[in-house]
Amino acid sequence: MATGNANASTERHTTCFALYHQPGNSQRRTQQKRNCKKAEIWSWKIGKKLQIGNKVLIRNRGLTGVGCNVGWIQFQNKCYWFSHDSRSWGEAEGLCYVFHSKLAEPLTDAESHFLISHSQVYPSSFWIGISDMIEEDRWIYSSNQNVIQVNGWFPGEPNGHTGENCVALEKSAHGKWIDVDCKRAYKFVCEADVKEIDGIDVIG
């Protein structure tokens, strides 16, 4: 009796199930039972599995799409991360770089409107990747130093002259752009391109 329970317990804790999407039919799947404790490493290809502990991730055969990392928000072909802590503009730029991204640089009216609108969800102002640090009143994107292509300024802005060289989405200005002293501590928005990913199932 004790032996039987031990075997049942071992079966419960060492068995994982792997799903495979059948070619040409993403709704039809086959299931295989695997031992989770086997020291097996599978290359993660379409239709194959990647085991992490007692969970198995399955890439859907033939299903390719785009997406963002967890915690990031997708808009069109870009991913955005609205930070939870505050930094100076320069520190924010460096942190975005650590995340393989950059401070958000709206290139179109649609992107600018998205950033302005979404920033108002939070009770904060946010740095974006625009400044005139190199030449006064020549507002450029920080990643390539190209002159900005859109205008999201709040009426009367920019007005800080040489004392305010960085751009923020200002909460009190309904998310519109204002120029601010770059040393001020604001939250910030990082931007990255969407990634090509395959559909993923999680089992376990």
- Are 193 and 111 in contact, with CB atoms under 8 Å apart? no
Half-sphere exposure (CA, 13 Å, Cβ side) for 105?
A: 22
Residues near 159 by beta carbon (within 8 Å), at least 6 away in sequence: 179
Q: Which of 46, 71, 68, 66 is nearest to 57 (CA)?
A: 46
CA distance 81 to 189: 5
Q: C-alpha angle with apex 36: 33 to 39, nearest 5 degrees?
A: 120
At residue 66, the pLDDT reads 59
- Are 204 and 55 in contact, with CB atoms under 8 Å apart? yes
Please give the biggest Cα pair distance in the chain.
Answer: 83
Class of domain 73-193: alpha beta
CA distance 102 to 83: 12
The pairing of strands 49-52 and 177-180 is unpaired
CA distance 51 to 70: 19
**Cis amide leading into 158 (omega within 30):** yes
Determine the distance from the C-alpha atom of residue 84 to the mean position of all C-alpha atoms in its chain, rounded to a whole number.
14
Q: Which of 98, 95, 93 is nearest to 168 (CA)?
A: 93
pLDDT digits over 140-194, tens only?
A: 999 999 999 999 999 999 998 889 999 999 999 999 999 999 999 999 999 999 9
At residue 69, the pLDDT reads 87
At residue 54, the pLDDT reads 52
Could you state, in order of their start, the residue ranges of all structural domains in the chain?
2-66, 73-193
pLDDT digit of tens for each residue in the chain (204 aa)?
A: 444 444 444 344 444 444 433 344 444 444 444 444 333 333 334 444 554 455 555 444 433 345 898 899 999 999 999 999 999 999 999 999 999 999 999 999 999 999 999 999 999 999 999 999 999 999 999 999 999 999 999 999 999 888 999 999 999 999 999 999 999 999 999 999 997 544 444 444
At residue 166, the pLDDT reads 97
